[in-house]
Chain A
């Protein structure tokens, strides 16, 4: 595709359920990032992949959050035993290179609501 795509666009989960959010980066992009955006706030970094290697997961808020990119393309962010504070928009971004100066391109986000 022409841009970064994410699915689902909207997800409602009951507290305690597990969810999986998918990100399809731009074809050929080496780097992939996940960000979390709470209502009224700027996005905050969660984790970063270079190809299939997860190089930085310092932003993951708890061990209930897990991300993978097994073949270096599609990535999945999994949240186990969802809590109300997990309600947010989850944004995925990809960039062409493996160095810090490459521009990141964002997907439309997945809005997660935990009830």
Chain B
């Protein structure tokens, strides 16, 4: 059974700092991996989708990497801003189409 774990559960950093969020999964037989952002009381905003054949994806200050063999993905946020404060969720696309989510990392960026 696929399990997705995100570390740390919460993170507080000063504005301007670069940071890394970690995601690990137990079954390497995944199709894609996706990172989402969720603001309090809101739905999910897609940040980056990495297909199984890719190693990384970049969008602006965000860079996500995928290492299927080790069952790991990282989300790198450069030059963090207070507006980046949110919960970040990692999810893998498993056989059958369903997404398996981690529990999220709650990020707080202090001005």
Q: B-contacting residues of A (Cβ < 8 Å)?
A: 31, 33, 35, 40-45, 48, 55-56, 59, 91, 93, 95, 99-101, 103-109, 111
Contacts and interface: CB of A to CB of B under 8 A. Distances in A.
Interface of B: 4, 31-32, 34, 36, 41-44, 46, 49, 51-52, 89, 91, 93-104
B46 A105 contact: yes
Contacts, number: 66
Contacts of B31: 100-101
Nearest to A10: B41
A53 to B, nearest CB: 13
Contacts of A41: 103-104
Which of A48, A99, A103 counts the most chain B CB atoms within 10 A? A103
B5 to A, nearest CB: 10
Contacts of B91: 42-43
Contacts of B41: 111
Given A42-B102, A42-B104, A108 B96 contact: no
Contacts of A108: 42-43
